[in-house]
Structure 1
Amino acid sequence: MKDTDLLDAHRQELWRGTVVLASLLALQKPGYGYGLLDTLERAGVPAPANTLYPLLRRLEGQALLTSEWDTSGSRPRKFYRTSREGVRLAQELQKEFSAIDRALGRLATEAEADSGTTTDRDADSAAGPATT
């Protein structure tokens, strides 16, 4: 497997879980599937249509989204909105995401320290106290 293929596979796996949170956040303002795809794309969240629509159905089945049909246009469109339970879940997932980010930051800092590389803060500390 090429390095780029390996990176792409891991990147896809990393983003997979974030699409749920991103969708719950984005759909706090009602929207339909295609509009959500556009919103996620503009935010930098990769979400292929062939995975997003099944996700919307699953989240609706879990009562994390509500939906209604808009038949006023030339063709009916299903609008989704994050439910109260979905908003609560999104808030908890955001806390978890922040905790994961902090944990990874600590691990990266420890890895830098173990490898002997220094950050600017480390270099300042090693220089000793400032003299006046």
Structure 2
Amino acid sequence: MGDILHSLTTELRRGSLTLAVLSQLKSPQYGYSLVQRLEDHGLKIDQSTLYPLLRRLEKQKVVTSSWDTSESRPRKYYVLSLYGEEIFHELKIQWEKTTQELNVLLKGEENNEDD
């Protein structure tokens, strides 16, 4: 059960991580600050997961990036593009709709267990 549960949990988290990352990019964030913000809210994400996700979102024009070289260590900052703001808004609506539908189904399961 452990391997299958781990695999299914990973699959379940994959989509939700995208939404979580987008929710934090209303203001510019660099990779480490993004990891910290997510962890502060109880959502652990490895940098090996985050950076490929950010690159994919940038390629899809959902986020834009820019380098800040004003400090001794250059940092690449990511932020939602205008298109990304629209995508985030629509994804959030879909997430809320899906969550409501799943909650109904899961409550139904609990009620069926009482039978």
TM score, norm. by length of structure 2? 0.90
| Whole-angstrom CA distance in 2 between matches of 1:42 and 1:10 | 24
Choose the corresponding residue for 1:112, options 107, 110, 113. 110
User: How many residues end up aligned between the 2 structures?
Assistant: 115
Give 3-state SS (helix, strand or coil) of 1:12's partner: helix
Residue 49 of structure 2: which of 48, 51, 54 is its match?
A: 51
Deviations 1:62-100 (A, max 9, x none): 111111111111121111111111111111111111111
**Aligned residues: CA RMSD:** 1.5
Q: Which residue of 2 aligns with 1:99?
A: 97
Q: Which runs of 4+ in 1 moved over 4 A?
A: none
What's the counterpart of residue 17 of structure 1? 15
Q: Distance in 2 between matches of 1:18 and 1:114?
A: 28
1:32 equivalent to 2:30? Answer yes
Identity of aligned residues (%): 42
The two structures have a TM-score, normalised by structure 1, of 0.79
Q: Does the residue aligned with 1:68 lie in a helix, a strand or coil? A: strand
Distance in 1 separating the partners of 2:44 and 2:10 = 8
> Partner of 1:27: helix, strand, or coil?
coil
Report SS of the residue matched to 1:81: strand
Question: Structure 1, unaligned stretches of length 5 or more?
Answer: 118-132
The letter for the 2-side match of 1:56 is L
The structure with more radius of gyration: 1
Q: Tell me the SS of whatever aligns to 1:96.
A: helix
Q: Which residue of structure 1 aligns with residue 40 of structure 2?
A: 42
Query: Quick one: distance in 1 between partners of 2:110 and 2:73?
Result: 56
